[in-house]
Amino acid sequence: MPSKAAKKVSVSPHMVAYASEIKKHGISALVDAVKKGKLSMLEVVEIAKYTPEIQKELLAMIKSGEAKTVKKAIAIRKERHSRMKEDEALLREELEETEHKIGVLMEKREQLCKKLNIEP
Protein backbone atom coordinates (compact mmCIF):
# COMPACT_ATOMS: atom_id res chain seq x y z
CA MET A 1 0.00 0.00 0.00
CA PRO A 2 2.70 2.56 0.88
CA SER A 3 4.48 1.92 -2.44
CA LYS A 4 1.35 2.74 -4.48
CA ALA A 5 0.81 5.93 -2.52
CA ALA A 6 4.50 6.75 -2.80
CA LYS A 7 4.47 6.47 -6.58
CA LYS A 8 1.37 8.60 -6.72
CA VAL A 9 3.02 11.53 -4.92
CA SER A 10 6.62 10.85 -6.02
CA VAL A 11 8.14 10.05 -2.63
CA SER A 12 9.74 6.94 -1.20
CA PRO A 13 7.58 4.24 0.38
CA HIS A 14 9.43 4.94 3.65
CA MET A 15 8.18 8.52 3.67
CA VAL A 16 4.60 7.36 3.16
CA ALA A 17 5.03 4.88 6.04
CA TYR A 18 6.52 7.66 8.21
CA ALA A 19 3.63 9.99 7.37
CA SER A 20 1.18 7.24 8.29
CA GLU A 21 2.89 6.71 11.67
CA ILE A 22 2.87 10.43 12.39
CA LYS A 23 -0.80 10.72 11.48
CA LYS A 24 -1.68 7.67 13.58
CA HIS A 25 0.36 8.44 16.73
CA GLY A 26 1.47 12.05 16.55
CA ILE A 27 -0.16 15.14 17.97
CA SER A 28 -1.23 17.82 15.50
CA ALA A 29 1.76 20.00 16.43
CA LEU A 30 4.05 17.33 14.98
CA VAL A 31 2.30 17.50 11.63
CA ASP A 32 2.58 21.29 11.74
CA ALA A 33 6.31 21.06 12.54
CA VAL A 34 6.90 18.95 9.42
CA LYS A 35 4.70 21.14 7.22
CA LYS A 36 6.50 24.28 8.36
CA GLY A 37 9.91 22.64 7.88
CA LYS A 38 10.84 23.04 11.56
CA LEU A 39 11.53 19.32 11.97
CA SER A 40 12.31 16.53 9.53
CA MET A 41 10.01 13.60 8.97
CA LEU A 42 12.48 11.30 10.73
CA GLU A 43 12.66 13.59 13.77
CA VAL A 44 8.89 13.74 14.01
CA VAL A 45 8.60 9.95 13.68
CA GLU A 46 11.00 9.65 16.63
CA ILE A 47 8.85 11.99 18.75
CA ALA A 48 5.63 10.24 17.68
CA LYS A 49 6.82 7.07 19.45
CA TYR A 50 6.03 8.74 22.78
CA THR A 51 2.73 9.54 24.49
CA PRO A 52 0.98 12.79 23.51
CA GLU A 53 2.04 14.37 26.82
CA ILE A 54 5.71 13.56 26.21
CA GLN A 55 5.43 14.68 22.57
CA LYS A 56 4.29 18.11 23.81
CA GLU A 57 7.14 18.21 26.31
CA LEU A 58 9.76 17.34 23.68
CA LEU A 59 8.37 19.87 21.20
CA ALA A 60 8.35 22.57 23.89
CA MET A 61 12.04 21.91 24.64
CA ILE A 62 12.91 22.26 20.96
CA LYS A 63 10.72 25.32 20.42
CA SER A 64 12.16 27.11 23.46
CA GLY A 65 15.72 26.37 22.37
CA GLU A 66 16.41 24.30 25.47
CA ALA A 67 17.23 21.43 23.12
CA LYS A 68 18.60 21.96 19.62
CA THR A 69 17.70 18.47 18.41
CA VAL A 70 15.12 15.78 19.07
CA LYS A 71 17.89 13.51 20.29
CA LYS A 72 18.99 16.14 22.83
CA ALA A 73 15.38 16.76 23.96
CA ILE A 74 14.93 13.03 24.58
CA ALA A 75 18.21 12.91 26.52
CA ILE A 76 17.19 15.91 28.67
CA ARG A 77 13.83 14.32 29.43
CA LYS A 78 15.44 11.00 30.39
CA GLU A 79 17.88 12.84 32.70
CA ARG A 80 15.02 14.74 34.36
CA HIS A 81 13.03 11.56 34.81
CA SER A 82 16.06 9.86 36.35
CA ARG A 83 16.57 12.75 38.79
CA MET A 84 12.89 12.67 39.70
CA LYS A 85 13.18 8.97 40.55
CA GLU A 86 16.25 9.68 42.71
CA ASP A 87 14.42 12.53 44.45
CA GLU A 88 11.42 10.28 45.03
CA ALA A 89 13.63 7.59 46.58
CA LEU A 90 15.18 10.15 48.94
CA LEU A 91 11.76 11.45 49.94
CA ARG A 92 10.50 7.93 50.62
CA GLU A 93 13.56 7.30 52.78
CA GLU A 94 12.93 10.53 54.70
CA LEU A 95 9.28 9.58 55.15
CA GLU A 96 10.27 6.19 56.52
CA GLU A 97 12.68 7.82 59.00
CA THR A 98 10.01 10.31 60.06
CA GLU A 99 7.45 7.55 60.60
CA HIS A 100 10.00 5.69 62.74
CA LYS A 101 10.60 8.81 64.84
CA ILE A 102 6.85 9.26 65.27
CA GLY A 103 6.59 5.66 66.45
CA VAL A 104 9.36 6.24 69.00
CA LEU A 105 7.69 9.43 70.23
CA MET A 106 4.29 7.74 70.53
CA GLU A 107 5.87 4.95 72.57
CA LYS A 108 7.56 7.52 74.81
CA ARG A 109 4.23 9.34 75.23
CA GLU A 110 2.51 6.14 76.32
CA GLN A 111 5.25 5.47 78.88
CA LEU A 112 4.94 8.99 80.30
CA CYS A 113 1.15 8.75 80.45
CA LYS A 114 1.48 5.47 82.39
CA LYS A 115 3.86 7.09 84.86
CA LEU A 116 1.44 9.97 85.33
CA ASN A 117 -1.57 7.66 85.53
CA ILE A 118 -3.40 9.42 82.70
CA GLU A 119 -5.04 8.14 79.51
CA PRO A 120 -2.81 8.43 76.45
pLDDT at 94 over 70: yes
pLDDT in tens, 48-75: 999 999 999 999 999 999 999 999 999 9
Q: Is 39 exposed, middle or buried (0-12, 13-18, 19+ CB in 10 A)?
A: buried
With pLDDT > 70 as the criterion, what percentage of the chain qualifies? Answer: 91
Which of 88, 91, 59 lies closest to 76 in space, CA to CA? 59
DSSP string, 55-80: HHHHHHHHHHTS-SSHHHHHHHHHHH
Q: Compute the average pLDDT of residues 85-102.
A: 92
Rg (CA), the chain: 27
pLDDT at 63: 94
pLDDT at 79 over 70: yes
Per-domain residue ranges for the chain?
2-115
